[in-house]
Each structure stands twice: as C-alpha cells, then as structure tokens.
Amino acid sequence: MDLENSPHPAQRAAARSARFASERRKSEWLALYADDAIVEDPVGISPLDPTGQGHRGRQALEAFWDMVIGPGNMTYQIHQSHACADECANVWSVSNRMPDGFVITVDVVSVYKVNAQGKLCAMRAFWNFGDIEQKLKASLKS
C-alpha cells in the first residue's frame, strides 16, 4: 500500500513516519511532527508512558525516539488505512528483530492527525503492552 503518494496528508505523514522509523532517520521523523505534537504509543499507562498522558512536544518526542524507536530494529506493514477529515486510522503490524534474532510482531491500530500545515499533531497507537511482555518472556525461555 503506497500511502506516501496518497492525496490525503495524514496518510502521507503516517507512511513517512513508519518509513523514517524503520530506516532509523531520527531527524526526518521528528520533522514530520508539529512542535506541540503528542504521541500516545500505546494509549494509556504502560512502561513506555508511566503517566498515560503521552509524549508531548519536541523534547518528549525526541526522548520517545531514543527510548523506543532508536534502539529497535523495526519494520512496519500497513494493511489498511482509512482517511477522514484531517486524520487517518491505520491497521498495521510492527515487527522488531531482537539482538538474538527473535522477531516480535504486534498488531496495531493507529490514528494520525495533521494540522493545517500537514504536520503530525497527534498519533495514538492502540496495542497491548502485555502482549509484548508475554512474547519477550517466551523468547527468553526458548
């Protein structure tokens, strides 16, 4: 699914976000986001966001990258995308290859919103952190 060439700005931004993350292009990924953007990945309280209030603003997004995206070896596959107004909802899978070669895959629904300038101002990812913990534990046992 080639969303980078979509006529819808949220779909283009979402696709570029996934590509830049998988290519480990931090500065390009950060440039997609408005200065006051919020990322909730996953939505709610998790070890990645102990307050459950998301990562808001340039410094917080950079810290999120350094904690989650940068250390990973992730690939993204968008299965479906539904655009409406200034947002899109993507159904996709994220796979992260661990240093030992084990691959963890999680299915995600993410909602991306862009502002009038086409910058991402919000991203909310719906997935269960507990699923990742179970997969990690299983990989350690094998």
CATH assignment at residue 80: 3.10.450.50
User: Using one digit for the tens of pLDDT, what is the confidence trace for 53-106?
Assistant: 999 999 999 999 999 999 889 999 999 999 999 999 999 999 988 777 888 899
Q: What are phi and psi of 12, to 5 degrees?
A: -60, -50
Query: Is residue 29 predicted with pLDDT exceeding 70?
Result: yes
Structural domain for 124, as ranges: 3-141
Q: Are 130 and 89 in contact (CB under 8 A)?
A: no
Token look-up 């999680």 returns 106
In the chain, how many domains are there?
A: 1
Confidence (pTM): 0.92
Q: pLDDT at position 142, please?
A: 64
DSSP-based three-state secondary structure for 48: coil
**In the predicted model, is pLDDT for residue 114 greater than 70?**
yes
pLDDT band at 132 (very low <50, low <70, confident <90, very high): confident
CB 13 within 8 A of CB 100: no
